[in-house]
């Protein structure tokens, strides 16, 4: 199967889901389309849409989808550490840097978060600055606040 995408509606605006070879490769904001992907539908994209709908209703705390984010070895370690952050909790950039094996790599963690191609499902919104400060987010700080508030409400 080729690279396909679909755009879905959500409480935070349009989200693009991308798939390649039966694995989810993208969840992007504002209807952005991954390069080289053609519009289409599949069972996986429908499952992802259903699971996101449950998430936004507070009924799903973990996703059960095959993921294949494309990135460097370090980015992969950071994204794996993000997957270990429980629903409704947060970690600092320092916590994630330590978990990724690069204790002084806070900025590198920030860049890996920025380049996370599967937002929400790979929960980079759960990473905050030291002292609890909300810092940048690909979907914008209001979206990050919304997602963290949603998870606090239903955890």
Q: Which residues are designated catalytic?
A: 124
What backbone phi and psi angles, to 5 degrees, belong to 25? -110, -20
- How many Å apart are CA 77 and CA 58, to the nearest integer? 28
Cα gap 67→59, rounded to integer Å: 21
Residue given tokens 């994630």 in the structure block: 96
How many other CB atoms sit within 10 Å of the CB of residue 138? 18
83 contacts 113 by C-beta, under 8 angstroms? no
The rounded distance, in Å, linking the Cα atoms of 121 and 115 is 14
Write the CA distances from 55 to 10, 27, 111, 121, 155, integer angstroms.
Answer: 10, 14, 26, 10, 11
């Amino acid at each position: 199967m080729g690279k396909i995408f679909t755009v879905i509606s959500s409480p935070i605006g349009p989200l693009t889901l991308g798939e390649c070879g039966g694995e989810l490769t993208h969840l992007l904001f504002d209807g952005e389309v991954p390069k080289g992907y053609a519009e289409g539908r599949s069972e996986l994209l429908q499952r992802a849409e259903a699971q996101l709908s449950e998430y936004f209703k507070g009924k799903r705390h973990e996703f059960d989808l095959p993921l294949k984010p494309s990135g460097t070895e370090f980015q992969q370690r950071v994204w794996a550490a993000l997957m270990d952050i429980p629903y409704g909790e947060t970690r600092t950039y320092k916590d994630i840097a330590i978990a990724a094996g690069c204790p002084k790599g806070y900025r590198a963690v920030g860049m890996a978060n920025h380049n996370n191609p599967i937002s929400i499902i790979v929960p980079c919104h759960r990473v905050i600055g030291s002292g609890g400060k909300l810092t940048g987010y690909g979907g914008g700080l209001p979206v990050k606040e919304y997602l963290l508030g949603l998870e606090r409400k239903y955890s």
